[in-house]
Amino acid sequence: MKQTLLIILLFIIASSARAQTVTRTMAVTVDDLPYVMIGDGSYVTRGRAATMKILSTLKKHKAPAVAFVNEDKLNGDGRDARIDLLRQWVSQGEILGNHTFSHPDFNRLTVAQFEDEITKGELVTRQLMRAHQPYQLYFRHPMTHTGDTREKKEAIEKFLAARGYKITPHTIENSDFIFNVPYAQALQRRDDALAQRLRDAYLDLTMSATAFAEKISPEIFGHEIPQILLIHANDINADSLDEMLGRFEARGYTFVTLDQVMADPAYATTDTYVNNYGPTWLFRWSKSKGLSLDFSGDPDPPKWVMDLYNGH
Ligand SMILES: [Zn+2]
């Protein structure tokens, strides 16, 4: 009997040691600040509620974030209160990045027009971040459209580098902007059952996308790399982020700064893949390295969610 207990004890010690050997890191990035509003109501009231939830969740999980701002969203009712939403991020120690002024599609703009969007998009943000200098400036292209011709792509890369910006990649994307539309509508209709179903499907897809990134990155780099999650400042993340970060932790993740993730040699890989859509950097790097890998396992939202999103 004593021997059985000892064996059980040894088994528990051995398996917990094994669990601890999986150590993974991830940086969280949040786009479209201060807030993505779907439906009616006061932008500031709803934005404040979402901001508080997202920030307290990041704090709870010790997850530093870089958050990307579209400064044209500050124009509207209560400009000062909207800027205050950004101030909350800064006072929690998060870094604000540039996501252009008005979130245009680079495919439809000239290089000069896009450069104008970048310079116009950093005015308030740089002011708010002044006390934190020096810090790494980060830029993320809207829809991660990095240039539909090689000339445009390289011209903007040069422009950004000259202004001190690093382009922010992402390796895990979960179509949160799609889930968020029917989710916000369900909340407004007080359809709790649908809201719950959407949150569950969203979290499941996030974990499948994460498992895919963990599987494909060794095929590109020979080992698993630190990940960069891309999400948006919206309602579904306000209500799901706590459980999402908990599920990442259960997979062995700890959350680190974007600077730390970008220091990994994998992130020094040049992205030479020219395209007119916005694939993940894992795909871009695989193409840049001349690899032809199977990305069909990178999950898309289920059909019932797409139907709701498309208004069926
Ligand atoms: Zn965006």
41-92 pLDDT per residue, tens: 999 999 999 999 999 999 999 999 999 999 999 999 999 999 999 999 999 9
> What is the CA(103)–ligand 1 centre distance, in A?
6
Name the region of 136 (left: φ>0; alpha: ψ -120 to 50; beta: rest): beta
Q: What is the pLDDT of residue 11?
A: 59
- Answer yes or no: is pLDDT of 12 > 70: no
> What is the CA(162)–ligand 1 centre distance, in A?
23
Dihedral, 9, 13, 19, 25 alpha carbons, nearest 10: 140
> What is the CA(159)–ligand 1 centre distance, in A?
20
> What is the CA(49)–ligand 1 centre distance, in A?
20
Q: What is the pLDDT of residue 6?
A: 60
Task: Please give the single-letter amino acid code of residue 274.
Answer: V
Q: Are 99 and 142 in contact (CB under 8 A)?
A: yes
> What is the CA(30)–ligand 1 centre distance, in A?
9
- Answer yes or no: is pLDDT of 19 > 70: no
pLDDT, one tens digit per residue, over 78-95 is: 999 999 999 999 999 999
Beta bridge pairs of residue 228: 27
Q: What is the pLDDT of residue 312?
A: 72
> What is the CA(10)–ligand 1 centre distance, in A?
50
Place of tokens 């080992």: 223
> What is the CA(8)–ligand 1 centre distance, in A?
51
> What is the CA(33)–ligand 1 centre distance, in A?
9
- Answer yes or no: is pLDDT of 156 > 90: yes
Beta bridge pairs of residue 227: 26
> What is the CA(18)–ligand 1 centre distance, in A?
39
* C-alpha dihedral sign at 118, 123, 128, 130: positive
Place of tokens 């990305």: 295
pLDDT band at 252, cuts 50/70/90? Answer: very high
Task: State how far the Cα of 147 lies from the Cα of 108, in Å rounded to an integer.
Answer: 10
Name the region of 164 (left: φ>0; alpha: ψ -120 to 50; beta: rest): left
> What is the CA(143)–ligand 1 centre distance, in A?
6
pLDDT band at 22, cuts 50/70/90? Answer: confident
Q: What is the pLDDT of residue 130?
A: 96
pLDDT band at 7, cuts 50/70/90? Answer: low
- Answer yes or no: is pLDDT of 266 > 90: yes
Strand segments, DSSP code E, in the chain are 24-33, 65-69, 95-98, 137-139, 165-167, 172-173, 227-232, 253-255
The C-alpha R_g of the chain, in whole angstroms, comes to 21
Dihedral, 301, 65, 29, 304 alpha carbons, nearest 10: 10
> What is the CA(91)–ligand 1 centre distance, in A?
23
Task: State how far the Cα of 11 lies from the Cα of 175, in Å rounded to an integer.
Answer: 40
Ion ligand 1 residue ranges (Cβ < 5 Å):
31-32, 142
Task: State how far the Cα of 86 lies from the Cα of 134, in Å rounded to an integer.
Answer: 19
